Every structure is written in C-alpha cells, then in structure tokens.
Amino acid sequence: MKQFSFLDQILNFEPNGSQVISVYLNTEPNETGKKDFDIFLRKQIAEHGAVIPEDSPERKAYDAAVEMINSFIEKVDNSTRGVAAFVSAGSDELFQGFEFQVPFQENIFEIANRPYVYPIVRLIEQNPPFVVVAADTNKAYIYAFKRGHTLDVQSISNPTLSRTEAGGWSQMRYQRRIDGFHQAHAKEVIGEVEKLVRDEGIDQVVLCGDSR
C-alpha cells in the first residue's frame, strides 16, 4: 500500500547478522506538563548495554548505534508526540527515524535481528491520510492530514458575484454567467483535490459547504 511506502527500507530489511535496535517513544508531556520519555530511554540503553562485554566488537557497535539514536532524539521537534527509530548495530545498512503528531501507546526498546514494525504500522493504520474540503461558490480551503499532522493547506478564491445585480444584462443571461463562474470554481477545486489525492495516496475526502 502506498501509505507504507516511506517504510520500504524497514519493511524490506533482511537479517544480515547484525542486531537491529527498534525504539518507540511517546513524547507527549505527562500529567505535570513535562516529557519523561528520556528516563525510559536512558534506563533501557543502560540495561541492554550492561549485558554486552566491554571493549567487545558487539559493545562498540551497540554504543555507535545508541549514539545515532540519541543524536536523532536530540533534534526532534518539541511539538512531536511520537518518535520511532531503527538502527542496525554493527552495520550502516539501516538507520531510519520518524516523527509523528500522534503518540505511540507505549515506550518500546527492542533488539532483534530485524526491525520491530508492528507499532508503527498500527499507528499508520489508525491514522489514515484524509482531505477536508470546506467550500462555497467562490472560496475553498483544502486541508490534507497524514500520519497525524497537517500535510498541506491550500486556499482558492474567485470573484464574488451577486445574482440580484444584473448590471445592464438580462437577468437570465447574467445568471448563466454567474453559474459559469461557479462551475469553473468547482472544477478548479476538484482539480486540486484530485492532484492531492493522487500524489499522496489519499482515499478519504471529507466535504463541507453550502447546499447551492
């Protein structure tokens, strides 16, 4: 499915003898307004590192992978609510980090021979991309949401025409002219929505507007 295409490197990863660290963090503030995911992360890093012999190749690979994860976490935007990171220890074949505006249900730190993908796949399935179109006869606002954050915002505005002011034209001819403007506006909006749906692989569109 197209909505998972950005995960291709992770989903297609084949075991190569290296261990893969998969990290999921809920970076929302806690009940006191502070973020505490770093406590979990430091504890997990220390506990897993403690069972790997010092000065061994495995420990050096583990420490290098942890450094990459920490470097990524330090650069995460403060508005982010969920973080996922995947790194292959002892190999440069895999490093991927992702930020989301929706949180993961729990913090996870797992080491295995391949990435642990279930939480990120579940998050994406629970937050499918969609488009909201708010439109009337001469204005439209198009909002695209993907993986919990606003992907794009577009506005379309065309001249406002009144049906009651013929301005020297016959009423019927003037109304046909107005209808033509409205139809052109509708076609422009539909064209922009179609492009967004096609380019981003979106299959849900929410429409709201007047009944005219």
- Alpha-carbon gap, residue 130 to 201, rounded angstroms: 9
**What confidence tens digit (pLDDT) does each residue in 2-39 have?**
555 668 888 888 888 889 999 999 999 988 888 899 99
- In this structure, the answer to whether residues 114 and 10 fall within a common structural domain is yes
Could you give the number of structural domains in the chain? 2
- In this structure, the answer to whether residues 104 and 137 fall within a common structural domain is no
- In this structure, the answer to whether residues 107 and 170 fall within a common structural domain is no
Residues 6+ away with beta carbon under 8 Å from 105: 26, 119
Residue 131 has a CB neighbour count (10 Å cut-off) of 23
**What confidence tens digit (pLDDT) does each residue in 36-50 have?**
999 999 999 999 999
- In this structure, the answer to whether residues 121 and 161 fall within a common structural domain is no
- In this structure, the answer to whether residues 112 and 136 fall within a common structural domain is no
- In this structure, the answer to whether residues 73 and 155 fall within a common structural domain is no
- In this structure, the answer to whether residues 92 and 195 fall within a common structural domain is no
- In this structure, the answer to whether residues 185 and 122 fall within a common structural domain is no
- In this structure, the answer to whether residues 8 and 106 fall within a common structural domain is yes
Mark which of 126, 157, 190 sits at the end of a domain. Answer: 126
- 104-109 CB contacts, 8 Å cutoff, 24+ apart: 104/24, 104/25, 104/26, 105/26, 106/24, 106/26, 107/24, 107/25, 107/26, 107/37, 107/40, 107/41, 108/22, 108/23, 108/24, 109/21, 109/22, 109/23, 109/40, 109/41, 109/44, 109/45, 109/48
Tell me what the pLDDT averaged over the chain comes to: 80
The model scores a pTM over 0.85: no
The CATH number of the domain holding residue 91 is 3.30.960.10
**What confidence tens digit (pLDDT) does each residue in 158-209 have?**
655 554 554 444 555 545 555 566 677 677 777 877 887 777 777 777 777 6
Mark which of 102, 126, 150 sits at the end of a domain. Answer: 126
Mark which of 84, 111, 126 sits at the end of a domain. Answer: 126
- In this structure, the answer to whether residues 162 and 175 fall within a common structural domain is yes
pLDDT at 202: 75
Q: Are 97 and 26 in contact (CB under 8 A)?
A: no
- In this structure, the answer to whether residues 38 and 96 fall within a common structural domain is yes
> 65-89: string of b/e by CB count within 10 Å (b at 16+)?
bbebbeebbeebeeebbbbbbbbbb
Q: Higher confidence at residue 3 or residue 82?
A: 82
User: Range of 56's domain?
Assistant: 2-126
SS3 call for 99: strand
- In this structure, the answer to whether residues 50 and 137 fall within a common structural domain is no
Strand extents, DSSP E, 8-129: 19-26, 82-89, 95-100, 108-112
